[in-house]
């Protein structure tokens, strides 16, 4: 009788990657593979990579070396955004047996049936222009929260970004399929769904990536509101130019969509936004935030911001700092700009020294900490609904309020995956 093969996964990067890794894992189990933890010895290791972090190459090499020391006879497969962008570079890493591009990621099972240890650095990829189709994915680590992919790819041309080159054209699932998946997740006991995508607000273009929208994100959230069994939805991230007044007003009145938006800004300087090829100005961003806060005063608002973009002067950075300082946002995700091959940003001068980039990052992270402290203090002594997670972390359990304040309390099994009224 043939021995059951085992497979272990490791994910680098975003929530979208986590949802896809989780789906690949379930696919492999359905094909007869035994799932193992990445720290264990397995027959096959799959690393799902990211292109956003500037040390994708370094992280990938370190992980492959770890596998080689631990399980030298095992097969190593690399997939994800970095694998699509630089397949040859990855194929030359000692110990890598197979590199799968964007079109082949979800054909992992058929590739593994043919792969042997004698294979070294095989590449199965294609031009990103040829990538089409939509592969539905969701992550289920515990029943509390699931990341559900509803959109993939991007048609924007931001000058710092490689994601369109790694994931292809904007394309989406259908509203009908997304609702079906939400219903299935409800049956599994999932309480909260986080809607994810590369450019979520662009939802509605069919799986072939056609420019014409067949449906809209606003229509999607209206339908999801009626799914029984799901208590909470969150919108993972949405571009300010696609965050419409209709969406904001709907969330304000919704019983299920949480008072929480994450809206990428990238810079508070209009000159920098132009250089980045963003599709809005800071005035529009401020208007969106103002509307949210007027309709949902208790809403949490997260912001993505990049520091050290080429030609960002002290004056530009000060514009960003002051803009964020006065905006009633709750927290920042701060990214230090790092150079990406084949992006327009490489042509922009002058380059900001790394030390200056790090200093600016630190200043904004400190601002983020103060913003979150101030936001939390506004609700001190108030009761808010908290969905508690089941993990026991050294005798403690954690959860998030509806407006994304994290709380911790001594672990109580009966509170796991339950919404509890909690005094902040």
Of residues 262 and 142, which shows the higher confidence score? 262
Q: Considering the chain, what percentage of its residues have pLDDT values greater than 90?
A: 82
Q: Considering the chain, what percentage of its residues have pLDDT values greater than 70?
A: 98
Could you tell me the fold of the domain covering 6-126? Rossmann fold (3.40.50)
- Domain 6-126 identical in fold to domain 131-258: no
User: To which H or E segment does residue 374 belong?
Assistant: helix 354-377
Q: What pLDDT is attached to residue 143?
A: 63
Distance, in Å, from the CA atom of 21 to the CA atom of 38, rounded to the nearest integer, reads 12
Output the DSSP codes for 302-342: EEEEEES-TT--HHHHHHHHHHHHHS---EEEEEE----TT
Whether 140 has a pLDDT exceeding 80, the answer reads no
Q: Where are the alpha helices (DSSP H) in 50-154?
A: 56-70, 81-85, 87-91, 108-114
pTM reported for the whole predicted model:
0.91
Distance, in Å, from the CA atom of 415 to the CA atom of 419, rounded to the nearest integer, reads 8
Whether 2 has a pLDDT exceeding 80, the answer reads no
Whether 275 has a pLDDT exceeding 60, the answer reads yes
Domain ranges, ordered by start, for the chain: 6-126, 131-258, 260-378, 383-423
Residue range 8-16: mean pLDDT, rounded: 89
| Phi, psi (rounded to 5 degrees) for 72 | -60, -20
Residues paired with 299 in a beta bridge: none
Could you tell me the fold of the domain covering 131-258? Transcription Regulator spoIIAA (3.30.750)
95-136 pLDDT, tens digit each: 999 999 988 999 999 999 888 877 878 898 777 777 778 988
Which of the 8 DSSP states describes residue 367?
H
**How many helices (H) and strands (E) would you count in the chain?**
13, 19
Give the number of other Cβ atoms within 10 Å of residue 387's Cβ.
Answer: 21
Contact 195, 145 (CB under 8 A): no
Could you tell me the fold of the domain covering 260-378? Transcription Regulator spoIIAA (3.30.750)
For the record, the structure tokens of 201 come out as 């607000």
pLDDT band at 212 (very low <50, low <70, confident <90, very high): confident
Whether 325 has a pLDDT exceeding 60, the answer reads yes
Distance, in Å, from the CA atom of 126 to the CA atom of 265, rounded to the nearest integer, reads 32
Whether 262 has a pLDDT exceeding 80, the answer reads yes
For the record, the structure tokens of 354 come out as 């790394």
Residue range 206-227: mean pLDDT, rounded: 88
Q: Exposed, middle or buried, 130 (CB in 10 Å: 0-12/13-18/19+)?
A: exposed
Whether 7 has a pLDDT exceeding 60, the answer reads yes
Q: What pLDDT is attached to residue 135?
A: 87
As a whole number, the mean pLDDT across the chain is 93
Q: What pLDDT is attached to residue 32?
A: 94
Q: How far apart are the first and last CA of the chain?
A: 58
Q: What pLDDT is attached to residue 367?
A: 98
Q: What pLDDT is attached to residue 209?
A: 62
Of residues 51 and 220, which shows the higher confidence score? 220
Q: What pLDDT is attached to residue 59?
A: 87
Give the number of other Cβ atoms within 10 Å of residue 150's Cβ.
Answer: 28
Q: What pLDDT is attached to residue 395?
A: 94
Handedness of CA 409, 414, 417, 421 (dihedral sign): negative
**Among 113-127, 246-260, 376-390, whose mean pLDDT is lowest?**
113-127
pLDDT band at 53 (very low <50, low <70, confident <90, very high): low
Of residues 389 and 367, which shows the higher confidence score? 367
Residue range 40-44: mean pLDDT, rounded: 95
Residue range 409-418: mean pLDDT, rounded: 94
């Amino acid at each position: 009788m043939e021995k059951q093969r085992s497979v272990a996964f490791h994910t680098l990067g975003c929530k979208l990657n986590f949802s896809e890794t989780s789906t690949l894992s379930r696919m492999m189990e359905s094909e007869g593979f035994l799932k193992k933890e990445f720290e264990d010895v397995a027959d096959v290791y799959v690393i799902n990579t990211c292109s956003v972090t500037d040390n994708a190459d370094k992280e990938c090499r370190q992980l492959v070396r770890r596998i080689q020391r631990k399980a030298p006879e095992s097969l190593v497969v690399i997939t994800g955004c970095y694998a699509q962008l630089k397949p040859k570079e990855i194929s030359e890493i000692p110990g890598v047996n197979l590199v799968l591009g964007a079109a082949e990621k979800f054909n992992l099972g058929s590739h593994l049936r043919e792969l042997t240890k004698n294979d070294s650095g095989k590449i199965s990829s294609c031009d990103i222009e040829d990538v089409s189709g939509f592969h539905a994915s969701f992550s289920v680590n515990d029943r509390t929260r699931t990341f559900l992919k509803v959109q993939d790819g991007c048609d924007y041309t931001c000058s710092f970004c490689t994601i369109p080159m790694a994931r292809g054209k904007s394309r989406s699932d259908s509203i009908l399929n997304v609702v079906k998946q939400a219903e299935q997740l409800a049956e599994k006991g999932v309480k909260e769904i986080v809607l994810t995508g590369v450019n979520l607000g662009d939802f509605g273009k069919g799986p072939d990536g056609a420019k014409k929208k067949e449906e809209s994100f606003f229509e999607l959230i209206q339908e999801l509101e009626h799914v029984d069994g799901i208590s909470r939805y969150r919108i993972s991230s949405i571009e300010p130019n696609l965050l419409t007044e209709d969406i904001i007003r709907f969330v304000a009145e919704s019983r299920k969509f949480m008072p929480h938006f994450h809206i990428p800004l990238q810079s508070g300087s209009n000159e920098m936004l132009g250089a980045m090829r963003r599709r809005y100005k800071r005035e529009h961003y401020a208007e969106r935030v103002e509307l949210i806060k007027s309709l949902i005063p208790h809403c949490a608002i997260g912001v993505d911001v990049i520091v050290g973009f080429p030609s960002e002067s002290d004056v530009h950075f000060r514009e960003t700092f002051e803009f964020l300082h006065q905006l009633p946002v709750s927290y920042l995700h701060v990214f230090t700009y790092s150079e990406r091959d084949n992006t327009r940003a490489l042509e922009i001068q002058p380059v900001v020294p790394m030390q200056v980039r790090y200093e600016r990052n630190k200043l904004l992270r400190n601002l983020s900490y103060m913003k979150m402290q101030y936001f939390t203090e506004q609700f001190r002594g108030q009761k808010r609904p908290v969905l508690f997670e089941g993990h026991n972390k050294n005798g403690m359990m954690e959860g998030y309020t509806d407006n994304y304040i994290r709380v911790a309390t001594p672990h109580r099994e009966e509170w796991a995956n339950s919404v509890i009224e909690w005094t902040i």
